[in-house]
Amino acid sequence: MNNKPQKPKSPKSSKPGISPKLKLSNSTKSKPTSKPSFKKIAVSTQPSTKTARPVKKSSLREVFSELNDKKPAHSQSLVKDISKSTPSAQLKYYIIFKPFGMMTQFSRENEKPTLADIKFDFPKDAYPVGRLDADTEGLLLLSNDTSLNSKLLNPVNGHKRTYLAQLDGTITEDAAKQLRKGVSITIDGKAYKTLPAEIKLVKEEPVLPPRNPPIRVRANIPTSWVELTLIEGKNHQVRKMCAKAGFPVLRLVRIKIGNLTLGNLQPNKVKELSEQEIESLVNI
């Protein structure tokens, strides 16, 4: 007689191929053991008694000046065009003769003079269209018409800017040909081939207001003048182009933007554009 204890038989599954343990596990997951809890949130309909932190306000001219400083002139199309909301009667256009050493902005960052030092009551939303380096003099356009950004600053539009440059040494025709075709310069650490430019050799010294301070010249080295017309405005482009051709720039003056010219305008002086000048400007 076999007295060995027999193992209990496992209960049979009601469905073939599925173990009781698996079935038990699945049934446990399908039935939550507890109900989800919800937190009550109190909502007040009364206004808050906390005082809002004051926000520093900036005028539009400071915002646009900062953008012009941080971005190259050809990339100003990112500036929001708000001129559509400004009545045409309130749109103003000015040109100034920016002197040597002045920053192309209204906000002050250091001891250098800025556009705020010019004694003229510009509209609060006027800003410089494009920029001139501190060491570059001449024609600068200011307006509260922001549509001018893409019209004047995008090289795709082929808008012309003309400069007079006094060079260290007597420029040769071969050097002028190089500048006309375009030369390789460095922009933001990368090689860049300039677009073709119009170059004219100026035989007689042009009539310009004296620079303050005057340029430094070498007694035994003559200087020469050249007129350059570009359709682009990379950082320090004219200076880099002339240096590449072998003739560093001693003095640089912008004399023309499109059909706008300096005329008899003197440094630190402002001229509001006439209706005819505005029409030629906005219809570019």
pLDDT tens-digit readout, 74-93:
333 333 444 445 556 699 99
pLDDT at 187: 94
CA distance 240 to 183: 9
Co-location of 251 and 267 in the same domain: no
pLDDT at 152 over 70: yes
Residue 281 near residue 260, CB atoms below 8 Å: yes
Q: Which among 129, 126, 99 is positioned nearest to 114, based on CA atoms? A: 99
Residues 141 and 197 sit within 8 Å (Cβ to Cβ): no
| CA distances, 267 to each of 102, 145, 205, 257 (Å) | 11, 24, 19, 17
pLDDT at 22: 44
List the domain range (segments joined by +) for residue 141.
60-155+261-278
Contact, 76 vs 130, CB < 8 A? yes
Question: Are 100 and 183 found together in one domain?
Answer: no
CATH number of domain containing 170:
3.30.70.1560
**Domain CATH for 72:** 3.30.70.580
Residue range 62-69: mean pLDDT, rounded: 48
Q: Is 174 annotated as catalytic?
A: no
For the chain, what percent of residues have pLDDT higher than 90?
A: 56
84-120 confidence digits (pLDDT tens): 455 566 999 999 999 999 999 999 988 899 999 999 9
Other C-beta atoms closer than 10 Å to the C-beta of 256 total 17
Confidence of residue 281 (pLDDT cuts 50, 70, 90): confident
Same domain, 141 and 223: no
Residue with the larger pLDDT of the pair 15 and 90: 90
Model pLDDT, residue 9: 56
Kindly name the residue from 125, 133, 135, 188 that is annotated as catalytic: 133
In whole angstroms, give the CA distance from residue 254 to residue 91: 24
Distance CA 232, CA 151 (A): 12
Q: Residue 37's pLDDT is what?
A: 54
Q: How many CB atoms lie within 10 A of CB 114?
A: 17
Provide the pLDDT for residue 153. 75
Taking residues 209-214, what's their average pLDDT?
96
In contact, 273 and 95? CB cutoff 8 Å? yes
pLDDT over 90 (residue 208): yes
More confident residue, 6 or 138: 138
Reply yes or no on whether the pLDDT at 157 is more than 70: yes
Instruction: Note the pLDDT of residue 6.
Output: 57
For residue 226, pLDDT over 50 is answered with yes
Q: Are 104 and 71 in contact (CB under 8 A)?
A: no
- Residue 43 belongs to some domain of the structure: no
> Radius of gyration (Cα) for the chain, nearest Å?
35
Is 126 a domain residue? Answer: yes
Count of domains forming the chain:
2
Of the listed ranges 65-69, 233-237, 276-280, the least confidently predicted one is: 65-69
Instruction: Dump pLDDT digits (tens) for 254-274.
Output: 999 989 999 999 999 999 999
What does the pLDDT read at residue 4?
53
How much of the chain, in percent, has pLDDT values that exceed 70? Answer: 68
- On whether residue 235 sits in a domain, the answer given is yes
